């Protein structure tokens, strides 16, 4: 039963020991007819939870409201009060007695809240009670006998008493009886009265935490709706369910001196009252159904596991397993622990989220820079490099004012970045135009396209792609991918510029501009992917063409930038570009270098771009 502890702590066993004084044993109420179901029905329902001087209870008001609604649905006129003080309870009891004396019929009294036993008598606690010692009980609490006296005086002959009052004594610390452990005294019911106990005499029940109704009330509310069950059968079915759900920890009790039968819902055949009750639902099926009603709203895996252990082949077992898998997946999908993913797949190999779990496991094993081949519309193939989650130091101390302060940035979602800039051939296949200044190089990067042009290209790509979403990278993503784990000015060998010179424009000779030695054919963009890539397989992150990114530009944004997945300021006049061009000096080709241009700038600038493909 250890696995059910969390479940029991959130359940309120609401209907408590009936509290009838011993003097009532001598009273004889008038004899009933054989079937009381057709008589007028009157109920008094009280639920107290918002105690001012005692521990508050979460469920009594909800339970009183639900019991009242259920009784009204089966023909009871209900007098209801919640969170009542002493005067309010006395007023409701008087009103109940007066009305019952006039109309007779079947009477039902229900109470949920604190109750105590004193000298063999049982008392219900109003919300304003402050009982410093047991001798004050009679002054500040309601003697249950006062309710029974109203029923007795009415001489209606058929009474039902259900009380939720068998919790621990909330005033026990101030009482002199060290042996008082809570609960209420058990007494015999007078003739013509049925008393329902939520637990065995002298035991206590818990108030629920986090649920609307407790085990007992949940079962009772369902059984009240079943046609063809006599009063005793309703509470018997309720008892069986509570005992099953609590592994016999909670044993409901009853006491009866009724003569005749009573149905909350009489048995019916073709809409007419029948003399034979309808066949009851199989007890095990009903227990499984009631148990599912209790756990289906829980987000505690222990509750669902307990349900599946009790009813592994029940009608709701598949639903329970599906919810259990969903709860487990919510925890696993945010995890970076391969062991958790492996355990999830072992438990749910064919579950709804199994495919996503396998993909997550594969992603965690995928190295940075792993390549993915993609065919774009028009049949043009390109590659994307896998960029994992991580963090880096963005900006540069030796950079411009808009590259400071250097700050830590976390990229929390992996993505795929195009290994090269979008080529002229790829652009023409999607857009049907050739905006670049050089028309004879399909493998060269498209240039002279505005930020707005790039967005149109992406929109068309997304409208006809394989279901994946393409976009521009944020500038944080761009710099993170361009650095590829490095921290210097360039994403190559940090000890020397050898890598940079291999990756730079053909017109640079020993780092100096020497126009006398520059070949005119070299003063232009070069075909993509012909120089050295960085460690994550990205080409031309230093030069070739400047690349648009998604963000608006703000010179001082780094001082305000969030740590996780920054996306730039919310608005602006310029969009950011990164990477420098074929004609840029080395100082403009650093990983941290930023530039800006108006979004509709196209023909007058050299800009191109590369794509991000989301996971």
Q: Which domains occur in the chain, in start order? A: 13-272 (3.40.50.1460), 301-365 (no CATH), 371-614 (3.90.1580.10)
Instruction: Give the pLDDT score at 209.
Output: 59
CB of 541 closer than 8 Å to CB of 387: no
* Secondary structure in 3-state letters for 449-495: CCHHHHHHHHHHHHHCCCCCCEECCCHHHHHHHHHCCCCCCCCCCCC
119/602 Cα distance (integer angstroms):
94
Under DSSP, the state recorded for 24 is G
515/509 Cα distance (integer angstroms):
10
Instruction: Give the pLDDT score at 27.
Output: 36
CA distances to 161, 455, 486, 562 from 566, in Å: 64, 20, 20, 6
604 contact partners, CB below 8 Å, separation of at least 6: 448
- The burial of 410, by beta-carbon neighbours within 10 Å (0-12 exposed, 13-18 middle, 19 or more buried), is given as middle
End-to-end CA distance of the chain: 44
Long-range contacts of 276-285 (CB under 8 A, 24+ apart): 277/228, 277/229, 277/230, 278/227, 278/228, 279/228, 280/226, 280/228, 280/229, 280/233, 280/237, 281/226, 283/237, 283/240, 285/315
CA distances to 301, 316, 338, 362, 609 from 348, in Å: 14, 17, 15, 17, 43
β-pair type (470-471, 415-418): unpaired
Count CA atoms within 13 Å of residue 465 on its CB side: 19
Instruction: Give the pLDDT score at 35.
Output: 65
Instruction: Give the pLDDT score at 47.
Output: 92
28/61 Cα distance (integer angstroms):
34
606/582 Cα distance (integer angstroms):
9
Q: What are the DSSP E strand ranges found in 174-252?
A: 193-197
Angle in degrees, 0-180, between the axes of helices 215-224 and 60-73, rounded to the nearest 10: 10
Chunked into runs of 10 residues, the chain (615 residues) has average pLDDT values of 35 32 36 62 94 87 91 93 95 94 91 84 89 87 88 87 75 55 58 80 63 75 88 89 78 82 78 47 73 81 85 87 84 74 82 80 78 84 93 93 95 94 94 85 91 94 82 97 90 48 46 46 73 88 91 92 94 93 78 92 78 89
Tokens 């148990």 found at: 291
Tell me phi and psi for residue 524, to 5 degrees.
Answer: -170, 170
Instruction: Give the pLDDT score at 559.
Output: 87
Q: What is the pTM of this model?
A: 0.47
Instruction: Give the pLDDT score at 498.
Output: 45
Q: What are the DSSP E strand ranges found in 19-137?
A: 41-47, 77-82, 106-112, 115-118, 121-124
402/317 Cα distance (integer angstroms):
60
Instruction: Give the pLDDT score at 327.
Output: 84
Instruction: Give the pLDDT score at 544.
Output: 84
Instruction: Give the pLDDT score at 577.
Output: 95
């Amino acid at each position: 039963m250890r696995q059910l502890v969390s479940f029991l702590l959130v359940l309120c066993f609401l209907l408590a020991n009936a509290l009838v004084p011993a003097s009532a044993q001598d009273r004889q109420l008038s004899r009933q007819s054989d079937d009381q179901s057709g008589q007028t029905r009157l109920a008094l329902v009280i639920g107290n939870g918002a105690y001012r001087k005692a521990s508050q209870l979460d469920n009594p008001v909800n339970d009183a409201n639900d019991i009242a609604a259920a009784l009204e649905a089966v023909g009871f006129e209900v007098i209801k009060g919640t969170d009542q003080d002493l005067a309010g309870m006395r007023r409701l009891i008087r009103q109940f007695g007066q009305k019952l004396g006039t109309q007779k019929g079947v009477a039902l009294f229900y109470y949920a809240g604190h109750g105590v036993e004193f000298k063999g008598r049982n008392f219900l606690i109003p919300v304003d009670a402050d009982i410093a010692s047991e001798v004050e009980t009679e002054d500040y609490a309601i003697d249950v006998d006062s309710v029974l006296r109203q029923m007795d005086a009415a001489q209606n002959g058929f009474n039902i008493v259900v009380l939720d009052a068998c919790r621990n004594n909330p005033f026990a610390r101030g009482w002199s009886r060290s042996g008082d452990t809570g609960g209420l005294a058990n007494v015999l019911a007078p003739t013509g009265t049925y008393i329902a106990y939520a637990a065995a005499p002298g035991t206590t029940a818990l108030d629920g935490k986090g649920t609307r109704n407790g085990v007992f009330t949940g079962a009772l509310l369902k059984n009240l709706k079943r046609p063809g069950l006599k009063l005793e059968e309703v509470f018997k079915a309720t008892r069986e369910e509570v005992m099953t759900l609590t592994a016999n920890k909670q044993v409901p009790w009853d006491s009866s001196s009724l003569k005749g039968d009573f149905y909350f819902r009489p048995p019916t055949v073709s809409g007419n009252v029948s003399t034979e009750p309808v066949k009851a639902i199989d007890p095990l099926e009903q227990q499984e159904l009631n148990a599912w009603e209790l756990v289906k709203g829980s987000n505690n895996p222990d509750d669902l596991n307990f349900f599946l252990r009790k009813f592994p082949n029940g009608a709701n077992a598949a639903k329970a397993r599906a919810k259990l898998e969903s709860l487990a997946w919510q925890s696993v999908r945010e995890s970076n622990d391969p062991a958790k993913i492996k355990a999830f797949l072992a438990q749910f190999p064919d579950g709804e989220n199994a495919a996503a779990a396998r993909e997550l496991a594969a992603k965690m094993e995928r190295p940075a820079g792993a390549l993915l081949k993609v065919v774009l519309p028009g049949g043009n193939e390109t590659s994307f490099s896998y960029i994992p989650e991580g963090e880096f130091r963005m900006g540069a101390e030796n950079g411009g004012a808009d590259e400071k302060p250097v700050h830590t940035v976390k990229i929390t979602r992996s993505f795929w970045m195009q290994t090269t800039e979008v080529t002229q051939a790829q652009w023409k296949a999607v857009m049907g135009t050739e905006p670049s200044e050089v028309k004879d190089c399909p493998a060269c990067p498209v240039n002279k396209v505005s930020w707005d042009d790039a967005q149109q290209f992406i929109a068309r790509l997304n409208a006809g792609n394989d279901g994946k979403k393409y976009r521009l990278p944020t500038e944080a993503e761009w710099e993170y991918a361009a650095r590829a784990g490095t921290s210097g000015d360039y994403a190559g060998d940090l000890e020397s510029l050898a890598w940079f010179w291999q990756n730079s424009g053909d017109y640079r000779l020993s780092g100096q501009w020497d126009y006398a030695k520059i070949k005119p054919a070299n003063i232009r963009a070069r075909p993509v992917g012909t120089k050295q890539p960085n460690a994550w397989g990205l080409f031309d992150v230093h030069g070739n063409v400047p690349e648009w990114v998604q963000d608006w530009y703000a010179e001082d944004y780094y001082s305000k930038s969030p740590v996780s997945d920054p996306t730039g300021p919310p608005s602006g006049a310029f969009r950011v570009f990164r990477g420098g061009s074929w004609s840029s000096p080395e100082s403009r080709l650093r990983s941290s270098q930023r530039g800006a241009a108006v979004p509709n700038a196209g023909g007058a600038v050299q800009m191109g771009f590369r794509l991000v493909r989301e996971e």
